[in-house]
């Protein structure tokens, strides 16, 4: 079948089988689709969005093009945090979440772009805190084994995915590339993935995929895209594990009283504020403490969610998390 036929079928609304989607995106990832046809394909898929079946096929193609890491020698699942959008409306507190978990001994791997697509990138905040991106996967493996937070650039983790992300500059959009990047798994199912959904339709597709694939993940909606909850109004947080979803926290209907968030959202101000929270000089936002509890439970650090809430409350000094 020619690329013209594939484009015609997609334009007519035809749904690909899982195998067809895997074959198509294997060619996309390997640079086997001419630029003009590639632009048309991506535009069509951005417009109609992937079904869970198609997404499973695309991820099958991606999984063989993501370099693998070994989970550290701990009894807990590593926590996998994709950072591909940056935050605009609030300070980027993903480093606060990551460093809080790392302090408790939970392995944390963050992967993403070195610049924020739509806001302040977590990589910028980490750099202000003296945490630099890993230069290689070997360095990331060493840092994880040593109990340190590791940030791996997309280009080192999955070059084909980085190439697809780079096309956003030329083609616009990028929702498909962001979703695929968030689902990249260098631990082959052994991690707790933090998966933000940008809207209800994407959340439904991700939930179906996670249940069918048996992955372990925290799923929640976010306005900005990075996998940290709104610090002023917690979304619904679900744990997907063993093919089933369980709600750990219901969504808050109205925002809480204003938390003392930094006045400026730039990397330097955010880094200073995060350091103050970690030192106990500023209270931890309750929604972030709630997310920490979810990670403690999902990673196996806590036996149940109530124990996780209690641990998070003690460790963060946030009674609202209990």
Summarised one tens digit per residue, pLDDT across range 174-206 is 788 888 999 999 999 999 999 999 888 889 999
Query: What's CA 87's distance to the chain center, in Å?
Result: 13
pLDDT at 261: 84
Query: For 43-85, what is each residue's pLDDT tens digit?
Result: 888 888 888 999 999 999 999 999 999 999 999 999 999 998 7
Percent of the chain with pLDDT over 70: 95
Q: What is the average pLDDT value for the chain, to the nearest integer?
A: 91
pLDDT at 223: 76
Q: Are 44 and 176 in contact (CB under 8 A)?
A: no
Computed on alpha carbons and rounded to an integer, the radius of gyration of the chain in Å comes to 19
CA–CA distance, 236 with 188 (Å, rounded to integer): 26
- pLDDT of 322 above 60: no
pLDDT at 1: 60
Question: How sure is the predictor about 284, in pLDDT bands with cuts at 50, 70 and 90?
Answer: very high
Query: What's CA 66's distance to the chain center, in Å?
Result: 15
Phi, psi of 138 (to 5 degrees): -60, -40
pLDDT at 296: 98
pLDDT at 234: 93
- pLDDT of 231 above 70: yes
Distances (CA, A) of 120 to 61, 123, 143, 194, 295: 30, 9, 24, 19, 23
Most confident among 27-41, 256-270, 295-309 (mean pLDDT): 295-309
Phi, psi of 4 (to 5 degrees): -60, -40
Q: Are 77 and 176 in contact (CB under 8 A)?
A: no
| Residue ranges of domains in the chain, CATH in brackets | 3-63 (1.20.970.10), 79-156+185-321 (3.40.1030.10)
Mean of pLDDT values over 203-213: 93
pLDDT at 180: 93
Distances (CA, A) of 32 to 3, 36, 42, 59: 11, 12, 14, 17
């Amino acid at each position: 079948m020619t690329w013209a036929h594939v484009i015609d079928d997609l334009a007519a609304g035809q749904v690909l089988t899982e195998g067809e989607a895997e074959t198509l995106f294997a060619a996309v990832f390997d640079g086997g689709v001419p630029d003009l046809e590639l632009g048309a394909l991506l535009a069509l898929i951005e417009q109609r969005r992937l079904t869970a079946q198609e997404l499973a096929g695309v991820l099958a193609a991606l999984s063989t093009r993501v370099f693998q890491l070994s989970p550290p020698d701990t009894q807990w699942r590593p926590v996998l945090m994709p950072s591909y959008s940056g935050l605009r409306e609030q300070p980027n507190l993903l480093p606060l979440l990551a460093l809080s978990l790392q302090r408790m001994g939970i392995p944390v791997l963050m992967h993403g772009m070195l610049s924020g697509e739509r806001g302040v990138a977590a990589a910028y905040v980490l750099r202000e805190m003296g945490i630099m991106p890993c230069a290689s996967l070997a360095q990331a493996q060493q840092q994880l084994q040593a109990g340190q937070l590791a940030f791996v650039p997309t280009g080192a983790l999955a070059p084909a995915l980085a190439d697809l992300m780079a096309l956003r500059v030329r083609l616009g959009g990028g929702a498909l590339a962001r979703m695929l990047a968030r689902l990249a798994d260098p631990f082959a199912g052994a991690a707790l993935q933090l998966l933000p959904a940008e809207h209800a339709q994407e959340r439904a597709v991700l939930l179906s995929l996670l249940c069918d694939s048996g992955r372990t993940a925290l799923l929640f909606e976010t306005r900005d895209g990075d996998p940290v909850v709104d610090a002023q109004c917690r979304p619904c947080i679900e744990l997907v594990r063993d093919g089933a979803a369980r709600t750990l926290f219901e969504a808050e209907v109205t925002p809480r009283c204003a938390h003392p968030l930094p006045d400026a959202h730039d990397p330097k101000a955010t880094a200073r504020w995060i350091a103050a929270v970690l030192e106990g000089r500023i209270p931890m936002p309750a929604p972030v403490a709630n997310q920490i509890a979810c990670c403690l439970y999902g990673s196996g650090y806590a036996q149940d969610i109530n124990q996780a809430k209690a641990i998070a409350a003690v460790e963060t000094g946030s009674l609202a998390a209990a």
